[in-house]
Amino acid sequence: MTVQAQTHTFQADTKRLLHLMVHSLYTDKEIFLRELISNASDALDKMRIEALRQPPLLKDGETLEIRIDTDPQARTLSIRDNGIGMTRDELVSHIGTIAKSGTRELMQRLKENSEGHSASELIGQFGVGFYSAFMVASKVTITTRRAGEDTATRWESAGEGEYTLEDTHRDAYGTTVTLDLLPIDSEGGIEDFTDQWVLSRIVKRYSDFVTFPIILKVEREEVEKDEQGQPIPDGKKTTVVEDKTLNSMKPIWTRSDVTDEEYAEFYKHISHDWADPMKTMRFRAEGRIEYQTLLFIPSQAQGNLNYHGSEFGLQLYVRRVMIMERCEELLPRYLRFVKGIVDSADLPLNISRQRLQEDRYINQIRKWITRKTLDTLGDIQRDDAEQYLKFWEPFGSVLKEGVADADYKDKILGLLLFASSHDPANLTTLEAYVQRMKSDQKEIFYITGESRNVVEHSPHLEAFKAKDYEVLYLVAPVDEFLVQYVFEFQGKRLKSVGKGAVDLGDENEQKAAADKLQTLQEQFKGVFEFLKEKLDDHIKEVRLSNRLTSSPVCLVGAENDYSPQLARLLQKGDLPKQKRIMELNPDHTIVTKLKERFEKDPTDTLLSEYAELLLGYGLLAEGSPIPNPVRYNQVLANLMTRTL
Ligand code: ADP
């Protein structure tokens, strides 16, 4: 049966990305080999894991390996593996589209490139390794057969917008990627990638630790030897072809003399990141449970860490053999940015997911890894604030989720950074906040909201600013979640400035303020009742405020109410409708005049328009939407018409 080759076009984004890649990665073209070997090695890992469950997938005596074949005359190079292979559909979805969610974002960032990242770093973040082949090849051909399937598929492309697909034959399971190499151009970074010394060097440099043999067929001249085994001068020369394994295959975590560069290459191999890791952590446990770990904190986020379905986990090895590519059980979710491996001496090779989840031993390893990672972060924070900030930027909000972990809550609280009213340019720890607390201050004040800019101008802060109390700005979406779990730090209660009553100043000041409000509250009783009735849909109480100094009004919640920020974050309908408390500033002209007007004529029809305007003012000031913007504008226009 022959099936005609079908021509397909790349997704538009893929096309543009390809172009950019090929034309912006001038240096390090040789890394294409690392990428292809990495993919082959992943495919072999998958094959081994699948063969554990379905042994017939591997022939008797078949070893999993990567073979590099070259043809210097034809100028082709192929990387062949007997790994898991791809079905036709997989080939289309993995190679024909860069379907990963981040492509558009990546394109955007490549265009702006504002953060000073190199194109290669950016590309690496989104894992498009295979395409790097087009930096050195005019045509790439993939022949692949998925383990367990009969047919193979051939994919071919010149990297210029189109690829062809056709059914083909392949004797064994696995994948061969063949490159028609571009002409050698040493200035342009294109060496002779058919030369064994060039290939040897590249493999040693980037892929030495790959746990499967990377085999190159090499030709060697052999001179005829005499009986003693000595070469005969002018003897007959024969060409011997032999296999040469280019990598040592020694797992890097079992070696003692590893350089930073080697760690970095290993990290790139397992993470598919192109940037060096920020921190390498290596430790071993001996005794009752025995295992080794090699962990990395990346220097940049890969993909979207906040996407809920995003996969994470560490590679799990049993006595140097990988049995799982992504073992989630080894990491708490809030450390999902950590990459690395665990090699254990005490697990069965075919351990099931089920058993992993229940395994006490795995649990213990996870706890140990968690503690070590948090301690390491603590060290960075203490020793190198600048570095810590670099960590914090991409990963801080993930780490914050950890406050729900009772075992490590305190450690994590110590690691958190927040924006604060103390310093517009820098973040603060809770500890530093507590050290700055005023002598009469009992609570840690915070406000939640959309952004620093919005909360900074919130009327809720006025009294705090006037009396010089520091307020933390909790403006990350995860912060709303955080305050559900964190009630205190070092014995100081966390207190929202937008909820409940506030008592500022020393005892005398507090008493004087309370007395003043109480007396005034009586005088405002009538107008407050009126406002409450008018705004009944939105407001459950109207009272005087000691939060405000310059604004006439703000809206607050009762101690246990959810915040407007939470309402914005959650979908409409997920929360029961909740009325707010309206607080008015008794010293503000608007408020006193409103009272006068009400007392003069409680039936004045304009009063209800003023009530609506006050509500709108309060909502807008805190960054909340107003219930009926059209109506609000009309009322405002009426007011202008009257007063202009
Ligand atoms: P990444 O490896 O970062 O995911 P690539 O573009 O290099 O991105 O590869 C895309 C996908 O194609 C891989 O995730 C894998 O599923 C598949 N793939 C690539 N090479 C091979 C191979 N040699 N064998 C099997 N699958 C492969």
CATH of the domain at 489: 3.40.50.11260
In sign, the C-alpha dihedral spanning 446, 450, 453, 455 is: negative
Bridge partners (DSSP) listed for residue 238: 222
Q: Specify the pTM.
A: 0.78
Residue 243's Cβ-count burial label (10 Å; 0-12, 13-18, 19+) is exposed
Looking at the 3D structure of the chain, how many domains does it have? Answer: 4
In short, whether 134's Cβ falls inside 6 Å of ligand 1 is no
Q: Does residue 98 carry a pLDDT above 70? A: no
Q: How far is the CA of 45 from the centre of ligand 1 (A)?
A: 12
Tell me the CB-side half-sphere exposure of residue 436, using CA atoms within 13 A: 17
The answer on 550 and 432 residing in a single domain is no
Domain closes at, from 465, 496, 527 = 496
The answer on 172 and 25 residing in a single domain is yes
Q: Three-class SS string for 254-266? A: HCCCCCHHHHHHH
* Average pLDDT over every residue of 141-151: 96
Render pLDDT for 209-266 as a digit per residue (tens, 0 to 9): 899 999 999 888 888 888 888 888 888 888 888 999 999 898 999 998 899 999 999 9
In short, whether 132's Cβ falls inside 6 Å of ligand 1 is no
More confident residue, 370 or 309: 370
pLDDT of res. 128 = 56
The answer on 152 and 18 residing in a single domain is yes
The mean pLDDT value of the chain amounts to: 88
* Average pLDDT over every residue of 96-103: 52
Lowest mean pLDDT among 4-13, 376-385, 400-409, 577-586: 4-13
More confident residue, 559 or 270: 270
Q: How far is the CA of 127 from the centre of ligand 1 (A)?
A: 9
Residue 176's Cβ-count burial label (10 Å; 0-12, 13-18, 19+) is buried
In short, whether 81's Cβ falls inside 6 Å of ligand 1 is yes
Q: How confident is the model at residue 107 (pLDDT cuts 50, 70, 90)?
A: low
Residue 286 belongs to a domain: yes
More confident residue, 16 or 527: 527
* Average pLDDT over every residue of 181-202: 91
Q: How confident is the model at residue 2 (pLDDT cuts 50, 70, 90)?
A: very low
Cα-based distances in Å from 375 to 255, 379, 386, 563, 626: 24, 6, 17, 33, 46
Q: Does residue 520 carry a pLDDT above 50? A: yes
- List of residues 6+ apart from 269 with CB closer than 8 A: 34, 38, 41, 206, 207, 209, 210
Domain closes at, from 336, 361, 391 = 391
In short, whether 98's Cβ falls inside 6 Å of ligand 1 is no
In terms of Cα–Cα distance, which of 378, 409, 406 is closest to 392? 378
Q: Does residue 530 carry a pLDDT above 90? A: yes
The answer on 543 and 431 residing in a single domain is no
- List of residues 6+ apart from 525 with CB closer than 8 A: none
The answer on 379 and 427 residing in a single domain is no
Lowest mean pLDDT among 19-28, 76-85, 354-363, 582-591: 19-28
pLDDT of res. 634 = 94
The answer on 307 and 174 residing in a single domain is no
The answer on 417 and 320 residing in a single domain is no
List the domain range (segments joined by +) for residue 317.
255-391
The answer on 490 and 570 residing in a single domain is no
Neighbours of 392 (CB within 10 A): 19
Residue 327 belongs to a domain: yes
In short, whether 83's Cβ falls inside 6 Å of ligand 1 is yes
CA distance linking residue 515 with residue 509, whole number of Å: 10
